[in-house]
A and B are shown apart, each in its own frame.
Chain A
Amino acid sequence: MIVEQLAGWGRLPLAAAPQARPTTMAELTKAWAAPGSRVSRGLGRAYGDAALPDEGGFAVSALGLARMISFDETTGLLVAESGVSLAEIIEAFLPRGWFLPVVPGTKFVTLGGAVAADIHGKNHHVDGTFGAHVAWLDLLLPTGGSLRCSEGQEAAVFRATIGGMGLTGHIERVAIRLRRVPSAWCKVRTLRGRDLSHTLELLAANDGSYRHTVAWMDCVAVGDRLGRGVVMLGNEATPAELPAKSAAAPHQLPRRPKLAVPFDLPECALGPLTVGAFNACYYGLAKDAEQLVDFEKFFFPLDTIRDWNRIYGRRGFAQFQAYFPDATAEAGLRACLDAIGRSRQASFLAVLKRSGPANDFPLSFLDLGYTLALDLPGPAKTLAPLMAELDGILAAYRGKVYFAKDAFVSPSLIPAMYPRLDEFRRVQRALDPSGAVRSLLSTRLKLHD
């Protein structure tokens, strides 16, 4: 094991820690049994400290074990090792007419990470989270030894592992049900929300008739225009709805150039002025219209720019994602947007989504309501006052943070945000009595005690 500089996608915080990179099952078993606390790590797309080892611990990379094991052409059940990325699955199966049931805003996450964070996408109100489509999984237990679990077998372990942030063990293999899609395109309708209540209303009014819904929000707009946004509503297009050129190969994604941010940009590149201008243009140029958008562009708009996190420069950034239940959503979101607007800690991207009912995984994030996600440029020191203010808003309006995004929330708020935490802890402690699996996140948020 060699010491590496590790960080989440926001590059806040950083940690120098050893990382094992097993490439065979035998190497994985050996690496997992090494002394010290350990945490599994995938592609490092969690924004904060979820995949960073606790002080003195080490990370175990899943990336060296990334084989697809079987695929059932009739049911769509794919069994693969946890290091396989969603990008690889899409590359292999979209041309054959299959797609992942749930995708997040980037395809560069591993299967293991998708399960551990129980990720959600634009279709949460219809299809729920990623975990809802997992048939079974194999877990390398904290004490060694492998356990297969599903809803019918070791259900408590299965449910604690989905959304369990890797704390129940190392996810070795996942059986995920892929879904047939009519094409690789969405018919997307774009509407503009004048202000927060209008944007929320547009989302709520349309979630019955669209599988994929999302709103981009202008965090710089204040006063009457607070919460104005562009609402995107999508349904998958049938081949008949595509232009002749695409209809011939409806599951083929168009080719597009690969872009990258080759180095860290200076901090002034993303200041209040540039972000304000971008947001105003985005809103101003959006038309109320319907168009065909391919999956890549619709689901993963930022993936076309590799290493986009470098636009924030060396200071790094935090992502803030909050969920509010229907009853308090408007007031809670208004308070968040207001605090962020006043702080002038401009945000490039703010994404608002409608969410459907909760599932049965104790640490899973979403329930019926709305969730807002946005970037806040670092460094940590200048973010602290705003984060403290946001904590107060979350507490007042029954808000909740998403572990995969968080690096700042006060640990005292967690039990109220995650009322089933004790249930999770009982399962976790039974699997890991000596506390061998820990992350910076699990220690910081006291998920173990």
Chain B
Amino acid sequence: MTEPHTPLHVIVGATSPIARAYAVDCAIAGKPLLLAGRDLSELELIAADLKIRQAVSVAVERYDASLPGEGRRLALTFAGRPVSAVVAFHGIMGDRDEFAAMLQVNCASIAELFEPVLAAVSSVAGDRGRQSNYPYGASKAALDAYLSGLRNRLHPLGLRVVTIKPGFVRTRLTEGKVNPRSPLLAEPAQVAADIRRAIEGSADVVYTRWFWRPIMAIIRCIPEFVFKRLKL
């Protein structure tokens, strides 16, 4: 069992497949967890599972990223307890009609969270707007810029901000869009392991899997007059 003063690890959006894999990693490492998300009954199932398998302490808290103020309310539930990190996994993907909702869930909600270490899952889609999903990409680009500025502001105080940029991961978001046998498609557990290494290390911006960093570097370099002609 974990010591009562062991700092709490907060996982937001904890029902997502990547968050679930990450929570397993944390539980194996003996970190006491707080799982936050919209679906309380699912959170309770996940918490029970972690407690049975790993004998760690796991608490759950309802959290709805679509509602402004939820992040501050969540922070109050663990106020006064030492926290090792807050890791935000939540996000939605939609088209132009849902752009405002995406800005709220994918970016503004995260602006309410900060802690000794704040890690947020962004996306390679934020690196450049492509015709296939630019409203989603734009919400992630906003998140990237926000996290970059926050990191810049908090660095002198010794606080860390980690931007995590996954490429294709085998989840609901890629189902039917990415060939299930594609070598670019990562398993949630692989991404979770990359995230854990990033948080335990000293990284600022992490691409997962690693090969997305050079791929996106190339994509960012393509001049706009060429890029606008590409079918991406």
Q: Bound state CA distance, A69 and B53, in angstroms?
A: 10
B180 and A2 form a contact (CB under 8 A): yes
Cβ-defined contact, B42 with A24, below 8 A: yes
A68 touches B42 (CB 8 A): no
The interface stretch among B44-52, B158-166, B206-214 is B44-52
Residues of B within 8 A of A148 (CB): none
Report B-chain residues with C-beta under 8 Å of the C-beta of A34: none
B98 at interface (Cβ–Cβ under 8 A)?
A: no
Please determine whether B176 and A68 come into contact, CB atoms closer than 8 angstroms.
no
Scan residues 157-194 of chain B and give those whose CB is less than 8 A from a CB of chain A: 172, 175-176, 180
- Is A67 an interface residue, CB under 8 A from the partner? yes
Using an 8 Å CB-CB cutoff, how does the interface string of B40-71 with A read, 1 for contact, 0 for none?
Answer: 01100110110011000000000000000000
B176 partner residues in chain A, CB cutoff 8 A: 2
Is B109 in the interface zone, CB < 8 Å from A? no
Q: Is the CB of A69 within 8 A of B49?
A: yes
Q: In the complex, which residues of chain B have a beta carbon less than 8 angstroms from the beta carbon of A23?
A: 15, 17, 172
Decide if B52 touches A71 in the complex (CB within 8 Å). yes
Produce 1/0 per residue, B7-50, CB < 8 A to A: 00000000101000000000000000000000101100110110
A24 near B53: Cβ-Cβ < 8 Å: no
A75 at the interface (CB under 8 A from B): no
Q: Which residues of B contact A4 (CB under 8 A)?
A: 180
What is the bound-complex CA distance between A21 and B178, given in angstroms? Answer: 15
Which residue of A has the minimal Cβ distance to B179? A2
Interface centre among B17, B46, B53, B180 (most CB of A within 10 A): B53
Cβ distance A70 to chain B, nearest Cβ, rounded Å = 7
In the complex, per-residue mask of A23-38: 1 if CB is within 8 Å of any chain B CB, else 0:
1111000000000000
* Contact, CB under 8 Å: A67 / B49: yes
Kindly state the separation between the CA atoms of A329 and B48 in the bound complex, as whole angstroms. Answer: 48
Cα separation A358 to B41 with both chains bound (whole Å): 40
Interface residues of A, CB < 8 Å — how many? Answer: 15
Q: Is A92's CB within 8 Å of the partner chain B?
A: yes
A69 and B45 contact, Cβ closer than 8 Å, known pairs A21-B175, A26-B39: yes
The distance in angstroms between the C-alpha atoms of A167 and B176, with both chains bound, is: 28
Q: Is the CB of A68 within 8 A of B49?
A: yes
Q: How far is it, in angstroms, between the C-alpha of A67 and the C-alpha of B49 when the chains are bound?
A: 5
Q: A21-B175, A24-B42, A92-B53 are in contact. Are A67 and B180 (CB under 8 A)?
A: no
Which among A24, A25, A67, A68 has the greatest number of chain B C-beta atoms within 10 A?
A67
Residues of B near A92 (CB, < 8 A) are 52-53
Q: Is the CB of B17 within 8 A of A67?
A: no
> With the chains together, A24 CA to B52 CA distance in Å?
19
Partner of B48, one of A2, A26, A70: A70
Chain B residues, Cβ within 8 Å of A70: 48, 52
Given A4-B180, A92-B53, A25-B48 contact (CB < 8 Å): no
**Which of chain A's residues 24-61 have a Cβ closer than 8 Å to chain B?**
24-26
Interface contact A2-B49, CB-CB below 8 Å: no
Q: Which residue of B lies closest to A64 (CB)?
A: B17
Interface size of B by CB at 8 A reads: 15
Measured between C-beta atoms, what is the minimum distance from B11 to chain A in Å?
15
Check B175 against A67 for contact (C-beta < 8 Å).
no
B175 proximity list for chain A (CB < 8 A) = 2, 21
User: Which residue of A is nearest B181, CB measured?
Assistant: A5
Q: Is the CB of A67 within 8 A of B45?
A: yes
CB distance from B51 to the nearest CB of A (A): 9
> Quick check: B180 and A24 within 8 Å, CB to CB?
no
- Complex interface: chain A residues within 8 A of B180 (CB): 2, 4
The answer for the CA separation of A217 and B17 in the assembled complex, in Å, is 44
Is the CB–CB distance between A24 and B39 below 8 Å?
yes
Chain B neighbourhood of A67, CB < 8 A: 45-46, 48-49
A69 contact set on B, CB distance < 8 A: 45, 48-49, 52
Whether the pair A25, B41 counts as a contact (CB closer than 8 A) is yes
A1-23 vs B: 1/0 string, CB under 8 Å?
A: 01010000000000000000101
CB-nearest residue of chain A relative to B176?
A2
- Which A residue sits closest to B171, measured CB to CB? A23
Closest beta carbon of chain A to B219's beta carbon, Å = 26
Q: Mark A99-119, 1 if CB is under 8 A from B, else 0.
A: 000000000000000000000
Cα distance, A68 to B50, chains bound together (Å): 8
A23 and B17 CA atoms in complex are apart in Å by 8
Alpha-carbon distance between A7 and B112 when the two chains are bound, in angstroms: 48
* Known contacts A2-B176, A21-B175; is-contact A68 B17 (Cβ 8 Å): no
Report chain A residues within 8 Å CB of B17. 23
Minimum Cβ distance to chain B for residue A163 (Å): 27
CB-CB under 8 A from B52, the residues of chain A are: 68-71, 92
User: What's the Cα separation between A81 and B53 when bound, in Å?
Assistant: 13
Chain A residue, CB-CB nearest to B46: A67
- A101-143 contact mask (Cβ, 8 Å, vs B): 1 or 0: 0000000000000000000000000000000000000000000
Residues B53 and A25 in contact, CB atoms below 8 Å apart: no
B residues in contact with A88, CB < 8 Å: 53
Give the residue name and chain of the A residue nearest to B41 (CB): A25
Are A24's CB and B15's CB within 8 A?
Answer: yes
A128 to chain B, nearest CB (A): 26
The answer to whether A25 touches B42, judged by C-beta atoms less than 8 angstroms apart, is: yes
> What residues of A have a CB within 8 angstroms of the CB of B41 in the complex?
25
Chain B residues positioned under 8 Å from A24 (CB to CB): 15, 39, 42
**A70, B172: Cα distance in complex, Å:** 28
User: With the chains together, A71 CA to B54 CA distance in Å?
Assistant: 12
B residues adjacent to A (C-beta < 8 A): 15, 17, 39, 41-42, 45-46, 48-49, 52-53, 172, 175-176, 180
Q: Can you name 14 extra interface pairs (CB under 8 A) apart from A2-B175, A92-B52?
A: A4-B180, A21-B175, A23-B15, A23-B17, A24-B42, A67-B46, A68-B48, A68-B49, A69-B45, A70-B48, A70-B52, A71-B52, A81-B45, A88-B53
Can you list 20 A-B contacts with CB-CB less than 8 angstroms, sorted by A residue number? A2-B176, A2-B180, A4-B180, A21-B175, A23-B15, A23-B17, A25-B41, A25-B45, A67-B46, A67-B49, A68-B48, A68-B49, A68-B52, A68-B53, A69-B49, A69-B52, A70-B52, A81-B45, A92-B52, A92-B53
A residues neighboring B (CB under 8 Å): 2, 4, 21, 23-26, 67-71, 81, 88, 92
For the complex of A and B, the 3 pairs showing the least CB-CB separation, nearest first, are A67-B49, A68-B52, A92-B53
